[in-house]
Amino acid sequence: MEIIELSETWVDQAVELWERTGLTRPWNDPQADARKALASTDSTILGLVHGQRLIATAMAGDDGHRGWLYYVAVDPGSQGQGCGQRIVEAAAQWLRTRGTVKVQLMVRTGNDAVTQFYEKLGYERQEVSVLGKRLVP
């Protein structure tokens, strides 16, 4: 297995993985999210691949102040084998090489297993509230 920066040819497989792992929401277009990330020099999507099969993903982006992780997913059949740790560490390294000094991510409330996964990797809960407002209907 190797970690690569995904190209446009991997988008369909990535979106299918995100859907299978429950990351997508009806109000977000994951295809558009993926293409936007791949079109920018400030973001990427990393993939852990085995042959032509996508095992894990992590979208990383630098907003100019800190780095963010999105769409971190591991194929359900490969969970518990270190794939999540590998892809998260690779995404953090991608950000680090760009001079990013802090990485953040959001975990949906109640997703305790995922929160515990990140805490085992050294991520800490931040004393902030995330507020949002949709700019398009």
**pLDDT tens column, 88-105:** 999 999 999 999 999 999
The 10s digit of each residue's pLDDT in 74-89 is 999 999 999 999 999 9
* Closest alpha carbon to 4 in 62, 51, 71, 61: 51
Cα 86 to its chain centre, rounded Å, is 12
Distance CA 1, CA 101 (A): 28
SS3 category, 82 = coil
Report how far residue 46's alpha carbon sits from residue 57's, in angstroms, rounded to the nearest whole number.
6
Please enumerate in sequence order all residues whose Cβ is within 8 A of that of 2, keeping only pairs 6 or more positions apart, or say none: 48, 49
> What pLDDT digit, counting tens, does each position of 19-47 carry?
999 999 999 999 999 999 999 999 999 99
H helix or E strand, kind and range, residue 33: helix 30-39
pTM: 0.93
- Say how far apart CA 66 and CA 95 lie, in whole Å: 9
Q: Is the pLDDT of residue 5 over 90?
A: yes
